[in-house]
Amino acid sequence: MKMGPWFLAFWAFTLQFNTLRCCAQVRVEQKSFCEDSKPLSTLRAGSIPRGVMDAVMNTPEGKQARADAQEQKTKLSPENLLRGLNINLSPTSRGVFLVMGSYPLSAADGAWFWIVRQDRTRDSVLLWASGNCLDLKQSSSHGYRDIEVRWASSGSARTDFFRYGGTIYRRVYSHISAR
């Protein structure tokens, strides 16, 4: 049986179409989160579990914001100030949230980011960082992705690089430059 040019053209078209269709279904995982970018900035308030919110509010930054609100006789509502989403730090990680705060749970010149792992007994904060953007890197330590946090102003810029040490993230270096 001879294959004509129409059959070969049809086969090539079908192969190309199915390849494009297959690739379009691949889920692209977000790796960079900035204070003004989606999806964090568009999440509704109260988008994180109560235990994760409590873990954030028990950090030094959360406790300071609560103390400042009491001193100023104002109400601090973490449900309205914290937004978060579930992220993948490793192929096996489940229940890990990236949380971003709004003022007063943030700085005037950048966001505050927390990474919180949900556990059966107690949710724990793995990282707190301040900056404009948080990036999940391809490299990893102890099974969790390395993290880079960038901050910039009109006069300077800072990049902090964090590695997971088995229990929490630790800053391994900072680079500060004049702009």
Domains and CATH numbers, the chain: 32-178 (2.40.128)
Determine the pLDDT at residue 24.
Answer: 32
Residue 45 has pLDDT above 60, yes or no: no
Residue 62 has pLDDT above 80, yes or no: yes
Tokens representing residue 126 in the block: 């793995």
Q: Look over the chain and give the mean of its residue pLDDT values, rounded to a whole number.
A: 82
Residue 78 has pLDDT above 80, yes or no: yes
Residue 13 has pLDDT above 60, yes or no: no
* Prediction pTM value: 0.78
Determine the pLDDT at residue 63.
Answer: 94
